[in-house]
Each structure stands twice: as structure tokens, then as C-alpha cells.
Amino acid sequence: MHKADKKRVVVIGGGAAGLEAAGQLARAGCIVTLLEKESETGGHVKNWYHLFPDIRNSDEVLKYLVRQADHGNITVRTGVTAGSLEKNGKSVIVKTSRGERIISDAVVLATGFDLFDSRRKEEYGYDIYHNVISSADLEVMFREGSVKRHDGEIPQRIGFVHCVGSRDSKVNNLYCSKLCCVTAVKQAMEIKKHIENARVYCFYMDMRMGGALYEELYKESQESYGIVYIRGKVSEVSDNIDSRLIVKVEDTLAGRPLRMELDMLVLMAGMEMSESGMRLAESSDLQTAENRFFAPADHHFGSNRSNMDGVFYAGTCTAPMNITDTISHARAVVADVTDYFRNINA
Amino acid sequence: MEGFGFSVLKERHINYDANDKSIAEYIAEREPSFRTCIECGCCSATCTTGAFTNFSLRELQILLKRGENEIAREQISKCMLCGKCILVCPRGVNTRNVILLAREAFRKLMKNEV
């Protein structure tokens, strides 16, 4: 008999990482319980429209993920939150919000990330000025097929502010969220597809195009879509009497302050450790890093292992990552979990 | 060869090896946040002085770090020490203190009031 056969694994979180990990564990012979705090699985992917770098419809990825977790060995339980983890001999007991104690042989945490709440950067005016929206709000507009200002007008001049809630010690997030740069490039191009004559500007500190085909997408956005990139971090936003937005920024390459009037401003919200992950870390003594994400046991060869025997990590609960990397990380956790079963049985 | 029509232009490189970086070192020792600037330009964007004169706090800091002290010295008295730049800096650089220390360094090291 294979060592993973009939072992009970609880996967906490039903986003990309949790669905993929559950599917792979089930195929390895484990009996999986997947806990999802929302009423349905899918996580952040279900709010997205198109995905970089190939502009594929996110529904395709969602369908794949849901199909992965559609397996006889998997019980999906929605509306259930994991309260804490407790070791009992070799087992890990998961206490749920409903007062249950689920006994398992291993637990995979796939608690994911929360999008940065842009209201915390008050100087950008999210939730103060009507036409300052977040990158997530824009995806919803794309999904609904209509990009409009609050007054119903089609915006002609649109700005993107990079690094909102990332690389910013004022909100206690020193780290780079990695995906917002390329998301801005993708969204800027999508705007041009929706509004042909729109003028689109990206305000950035550094263009971090470190993923497969990101730089190519960036170049295409300049060449074929005419997106204008201005190097400088927006310091503040105000509005004028016609409810047009005025951004203040230094064009650091020209070496002069620049002022611009826009119809709509999109804030590229970064990724933060999820609140549910944070609660688990506190209640169960799981180690977190300086950036508040779960600290993996080893940066090079233990990125799926935690400081607690039998408890593993998958996906963005350990660091910001894109969907490709999340799925890879979720697949990798199966190797660590089955290794663990082999060792405790030996 | 008077009036021949040619002249040799002075090179415009930053002479990094020869330049005197003592002012920047003086500041960094006393205000280590000075080292952490990432050149985002937030300070300059929000600076009232920068809106009306060619003063750029971002540029000033990089000039000091490169030892281009003479250009920096001409600029440094323009700052009104209002401190708005501190509020917007994503790296938490104490920019106001950087200016105060720079003035102090010029006074002490260069025997030269700003």
C-alpha cells in the first residue's frame, strides 16, 4: 500500500492553491477535507477578468481548479473557518468555527492573501473621490463590459498608480507585491480595448517585469497601445470642481514636478497576508516573517513546510505569487506531505 | 592658435572617484535613513519650493551622494523645512533632518555657510 493511502489531510482555503493541492493529494490517495470560509470556492480568481501574460479568460483557470477538486476523495465544506490547529501525538486537530474538531494526519494551509485596502493610503482618495478605483474594481468593470466614471461618462484619460500598499513603510509593507506592475500593464492595454481613444498613463517607481513574457507585454503596451509610462510615485491626489482628478508626481527622469488632470485613477492594490492566516498564526504558534506572511521552514528546500510537524503551506500565504507559481507551489506541497507520511510510518 | 574656432569641451561626467563624498557620509552617519532612498520622487512632487523653483529634494540627495557638492550647495538653502516630504516618503527617510544635517556638514566640513 502506498504510504499516503487513506491518510486524512485537511486543506484550509479553497482558492487556487487549496483547490490544486486538494486535487493532487486526492490523486495520491489521501482523504481530503477542504475548508473554505466563503460560500463558494475559487478565491480571488473568480473576481478576475483576464489573466497575464496571455490575456486568457480567468474562467478557464477557475474551471480547471474546480475540476481538480472534483474527486471522490475530496469533501468540500464551504462557510467553515479554521480557528486553530493543535498537535495530538502524530495527528493535527483542526478546530473549526462551528466548534468541530477535525482529526487529521496532516494539514495544508492555503489561506492565501488579502488585497491591500486602498483606503489606508488616504492621500490617494480611495472612497473619498468617486473616480479613484482599485485594480480589483476595474476587473469587475471589465467583467461587466463597461468602464465608466461615477457620473456615467466614458473616461478618456486614465492613470494607474503602481505600488499602492507595496514598498511603502508608511503602511508597514516594505515588500514588493510582484504582480501589480504586470497587472497595470495588462489593465492599461485592456482599457485601450474598451475605450479606443483613451490616453493611459502608468506612474511607477520601477517596472518589475520579472516573470515569463512580462517584459514582452510591457513593450507591446508601449508599441501597439501607446501606453505612457512616467517614472515617479504619486504623492497625492485631489479633485477639481468638475470632479476631474489631479495627481501630483515628480517626473523623476525629467527631473521636474508634473501635474496632470485625469478622468479616472486606478490604484494597483498590493497583496497582504490574509486576516484568516494571521489569526491561525496567532492561535497556533505558526511562525511568520517580517512581511507577516507565513515563514517557510527553509527558503530554498522547505518553502512548503512550517515550524509545526505535519503542517504545510501552499501558495500566497507564504509570499505574493502569481497563479502559475501558486499552482506549482500547491503541487509541490504534495511531495512534502507524502514524504512526511513515509517518514512517520518508517 | 587664437581664434581658430575650435575648443576642447570640459567632460560632463560625474567624476565619481575624485568627487568628495564627505558631506553625504556625514549625513548618513547621523541619519541612516538617508541611505534608503529609492528615488521615487514623492518628496519633490509634494514640495512647495519645488513647485516654484528648480529645487528638487530627490535630486539634491543624489547629488550629495555622488559628491556633486557645489551644485547641491547652491540649492540647499531653498528648503523651507516644512516637512511635507517626510509625510509622503515611502521609505520613511527623515528628509527634513537630511537637510539640516547637510547644512551643518557644509558649515563644519567646508567652513562654508550655506
Tally helices (H) and strands (E) across chain B: 7, 0
CA angle A195, A197, A201 (to 5 degrees): 85
Q: Between chains, do B41 and A249 touch, taking CB under 8 Å as contact?
A: yes
Q: At residue B29, does pLDDT exceed 70?
A: yes
Decide: residue A210, CB within 10 A, 0-12 exposed, 13-18 middle, 19+ buried. Answer: exposed
Q: How many residues does chain B have?
A: 114
- Average pLDDT of chain B, as a whole number: 93
Q: Between chains, do B41 and A170 touch, taking CB under 8 Å as contact?
A: no
Q: Is residue B16 domain-resident?
A: no
Q: Which three cell numbers stand for residue A335?
A: 511531495
Q: How far is B45 from chain A (nearest CA, A)?
A: 5
Q: Is residue B12 domain-resident?
A: no
Q: Is residue B1 domain-resident?
A: no
Q: At residue B114, does pLDDT exceed 70?
A: no
Q: Is residue B101 domain-resident?
A: yes
Quickly list DSSP for A267-287. Answer: EEE-EEE-HHHHHHHHHHT--
Four-CA torsion A137, A52, A70, A305, nearest 10 degrees: -100
Quickly list DSSP for B77-90. Answer: TT-----HHHHH-T
Q: At residue B3, does pLDDT exceed 80?
A: no
Cα four-point dihedral sign B104, B108, B110, B114: positive
Q: At residue B37, does pLDDT exceed 90?
A: yes
* Residue B75, pLDDT score: 93
Q: Is residue B103 domain-resident?
A: yes
Q: At residue A1, does pLDDT exceed 60?
A: no
* Residue A336, pLDDT score: 97
Per-residue pLDDT of A244-267, as tens digits, reads 999 999 999 999 999 999 999 999
* Residue B89, pLDDT score: 97
Quickly list DSSP for A12-46. Answer: E--SHHHHHHHHHHHHTT-EEEEEESSSSS-GGGG
Categorize the per-residue pLDDT at A2 as very low, low, confident or very high, splitting at 50, 70 and 90: low
Looking at residues B95-106, what average pLDDT do you find?
97
Q: Which residues of B touch A208 (CB under 8 A)?
A: none
Question: Which residues 6+ apart lie within 8 Å of A300 measured at CB?
Answer: none
- Of chain A, the percentage scoring pLDDT greater than 70 comes to 99
* Residue B5, pLDDT score: 80
* Residue A4, pLDDT score: 77
CB distance A41 to A76 below 8 Å? yes
Q: Between chains, do B92 and A233 touch, taking CB under 8 Å as contact?
A: no
Report the amino acid identity of residue A179.
L
Q: At residue A243, does pLDDT exceed 70?
A: yes
Q: Is residue B67 domain-resident?
A: yes
Q: What span, in angstroms and rounded, lies between the C-alpha atoms of A179 and A116?
A: 13
* Residue A5, pLDDT score: 83
* Residue B1, pLDDT score: 54
CA angle A207, A182, A260 (to 5 degrees): 65
Q: Between chains, do B42 and A233 touch, taking CB under 8 Å as contact?
A: yes
CB distance A160 to A133 below 8 Å? no
Q: Which domains does chain A have, with CATH numbers?
A: 8-112+274-345 (3.50.50.60), 118-271 (3.50.50.60)
CA angle A242, A247, A248 (to 5 degrees): 135
Q: Where are the alpha helices (DSSP H) in chain A?
A: 16-27, 58-68, 135-144, 180-194, 214-223, 275-284, 323-345
* Residue B9, pLDDT score: 87
pTM confidence score: 0.94
Rounded to the nearest angstrom, the gap between the alpha carbon of residue A80 and the centroid of all alpha carbons in its chain is 21
> Which of A47, A220, A197 has its CA nearest to residue A135?
A47
> Which of A48, A12, A9, A10 has its CA nearest to residue A29?
A9
Instruction: Pick from A250, A251, A253, A258 the residue to mutate for testing the B interface (most B CBs within 10 Å).
Output: A250
* Residue B2, pLDDT score: 64
Categorize the per-residue pLDDT at A211 as very low, low, confident or very high, splitting at 50, 70 and 90: very high
Q: Is residue B91 domain-resident?
A: yes
Looking at residues A273-288, what average pLDDT do you find?
97
Q: What span, in angstroms and rounded, lies between the C-alpha atoms of A244 and A262?
A: 6
Q: Would an 8 Å CB–CB cutoff place B14 in contact with chain A?
A: no
Instruction: Pick from B36, B40, B62 the residue to mutate for testing the A interface (most A CBs within 10 Å).
Output: B40
* Residue B112, pLDDT score: 66
Which of A76-80, A135-139, A222-226, B69-73 is predicted with the least confidence, judged by mean pLDDT? B69-73
Instruction: Pick from B35, B36, B43, B44 the residue to mutate for testing the A interface (most A CBs within 10 Å).
Output: B44
* Residue A169, pLDDT score: 96
Per-residue pLDDT of A299-332, as tens digits, reads 999 999 999 999 999 999 999 999 999 999 999 9
**Domain extent at residue B34:** 22-109
CB distance A287 to A307 below 8 Å? yes
Categorize the per-residue pLDDT at B4 as very low, low, confident or very high, splitting at 50, 70 and 90: confident
Q: How many domains does chain B have?
A: 1
Q: What span, in angstroms and rounded, lies between the C-alpha atoms of A335 and A135?
A: 35
Unique residue bearing C-alpha cell 550647495: B73
Q: How far is A27 from chain B (nearest CA, A)?
A: 46
Q: Which residues of A touch B54 (CB under 8 A)?
A: 256
CB distance A78 to A40 below 8 Å? yes
Per-residue pLDDT of A129-169, as tens digits, reads 999 999 999 999 999 999 999 999 999 999 999 999 999 99
Chain B residue with minimum CA distance to A250: B45
Categorize the per-residue pLDDT at A345 as very low, low, confident or very high, splitting at 50, 70 and 90: confident
Q: Is residue B57 domain-resident?
A: yes
State how far the alpha carbon of B43 is from the alpha carbons of A260, A287, B104, in Å. Answer: 17, 36, 21
